[in-house]
Amino acid sequence: MSSQAQPAVAADLRPWTDPDATPFISVKGVSKRFGTFTAVSDVSLDIYRGEVFCLLGGSGCGKTTLLRMLAGFESPTEGKILIDGKDMANVPADRRPTNMMFQSYALFPHMSVEKNVAYGLLREGKSKPEAMDRVAQMLKLVKLEPYAKRKPHQLSGGQRQRVALARALVKQPKVLLLDEPLGALDKKLREETQFELIRIQETLGVTFIVVTHDQEEAMTLATRIGVMTEGEIRQIGEPREIYESPNSRFVADFIGSVNLFEGTVASLNGAQAVVDTADLGPVTTTAPEGVSVGQTVTLAIRPERFALTRAAPAEGTPNTCRAMVRDMGYGGHISSYRLKLGNGRIVSATQSNRLRDEDPIMWDEEISITFPPPVVRVLTR
């Protein structure tokens, strides 16, 4: 396991930025229909070796169906799936180089922890002593050695999750598919387990494909995220890219919270544009390519990007307006505000509480909000 050399240059860690890199898993134009219902519609994506790729979306968006097609439990109605260059069309689930960790964990209730983990090795034709050796290594990795003889119903939720992980990893699959791996854990355990998952992934160098509805989980775990809705992938990108440069209103709204403002492009000067909005007045920003004067666009501003000040900013500062504080919630590390603009529109803003002895902005104060051009993202769809 440790024989794999650490990547030497940063580019190796982000193979998707290299147009010549060969993808490890290729999903090409895959659709899945159940009767008249389309669960997955024309999805194409490339996943590279060693990635942690998250499929993120609400329930019923098709992410689990896509994962099940990779595992071989469903076959695509159209399109094909290649893993390590091989077409998976006629390869049944038990012959694929993938293993899956199920949302329900699916531990065999009549087998002890070590028998659960050994099951895959014995099916592979490994001898019993050899299998038990590997099982012991695996249980050590997930820190479950003392529980080898227990039955699944004698374990806590977190322990069951780790048994499921060990069982799915013991055959050293090329790809590990994880369906809501942390979904059944409580918040604190979930945070610990996230980092544990990453540690194990880095130790073994396995490619992970994770399905989740939890955007925080996706952001923390993923090298790249595919945002799905209604069976389609709307955007694929690194977590930062998805958050900072969403390509549509849907993605901007789905990831984190955002304030969206409708407007029309009033003037263009190179890449710099002025957008007229009913809520904020004229907003100076950087326009994406292909935008023309008179076009209707949406401006997206994240709540934490507003600067709130009691004093009006210096004359000539672009992108500023006055607002009334309608509501304020103190959350410890941050405070969240609901601000009422001149025309009655409510926007949300957050401020991080850096100083202990700050004099915080409170209810019913009239303040200035400023949003410098770089924090404003122009969306055309």
Partner 1 sequence: MRGSWFLPAASFLGFAFLYIPILSLIIYSFNDSQLVTVWGGFSTRWYGELLNDAQILGAAWISLKVGVLSATIATVIGTLAAFVLTRFGRFRGRLLMTGMVTAPLVMPEVLIGLSLLLLFVSMELALGWPSERGMVTVVIAHSTFCAAYVAVIAQSRLRDMDDSLEEAARDLGAGPVRVFFDITLPVIAPALVSGWLLAFTLSLDDLVIASFVSGPGASTLPMVIFSKVRLGVSPDVNALATLIILIVAVAVSVAGWVLYRQSKRG
**Of residues 94 and 315, the one with the C-beta less far from partner 1:** 94
Q: Can you tell me the distance from the alpha carbon of 176 to that of 127, in angstroms, rounded to the nearest whole number?
A: 24
Closest approach of partner 1 to the CB of residue 194, in Å? 23
If one asks whether residue 33 binds partner 1 (CB under 8 A), the answer comes out as no
47, 207 Cβ separation under 8 angstroms: yes
Q: For residue 98, how many other CB atoms are within 10 A of its CB?
A: 22
Closest approach of partner 1 to the CB of residue 236, in Å? 26
* Residues 6 or more apart in contact with residue 351 via CB below 8 angstroms: 304, 308, 334, 335, 337, 361
Closest approach of partner 1 to the CB of residue 249, in Å? 36
120, 111 Cβ separation under 8 angstroms: no
**Of residues 92 and 331, the one with the C-beta less far from partner 1:** 92
Closest approach of partner 1 to the CB of residue 117, in Å? 10
Closest approach of partner 1 to the CB of residue 38, in Å? 19
Closest approach of partner 1 to the CB of residue 138, in Å? 13
If one asks whether residue 92 binds partner 1 (CB under 8 A), the answer comes out as yes
268, 333 Cβ separation under 8 angstroms: no
Among 38, 41, 77, 103, binds partner 1 (CB under 8 A): 103
Closest approach of partner 1 to the CB of residue 343, in Å? 52
If one asks whether residue 120 binds partner 1 (CB under 8 A), the answer comes out as yes
Q: Is 203 helix (H, G, I), strand (E, B) or coil?
A: helix
Q: For residue 14, how many other CB atoms are within 10 A of its CB?
A: 15
If one asks whether residue 156 binds partner 1 (CB under 8 A), the answer comes out as no
Tokens 């922890």: give the residue.
Answer: 113
Q: Can you tell me the distance from the alpha carbon of 205 to that of 198, in angstroms, rounded to the nearest whole number?
A: 10
**Of residues 35 and 294, the one with the C-beta less far from partner 1:** 35
Residue 198: half-sphere exposure toward Cβ, Cα within 13 Å = 14
Among 22, 44, 75, 104, binds partner 1 (CB under 8 A): 104
DSSP, res 17: G
Q: Can you tell me the distance from the alpha carbon of 269 to that of 291, in angstroms, rounded to the nearest whole number?
A: 11
**Of residues 108 and 363, the one with the C-beta less far from partner 1:** 108
Q: Is 198 helix (H, G, I), strand (E, B) or coil?
A: helix
**Of residues 171 and 234, the one with the C-beta less far from partner 1:** 171
Among 16, 119, 238, 370, binds partner 1 (CB under 8 A): 119
Point out which residues bind partner 1 (CB under 8 A): 71-73, 92-95, 98-100, 102-104, 106, 108-110, 119-120, 123-124, 153, 167-168, 171
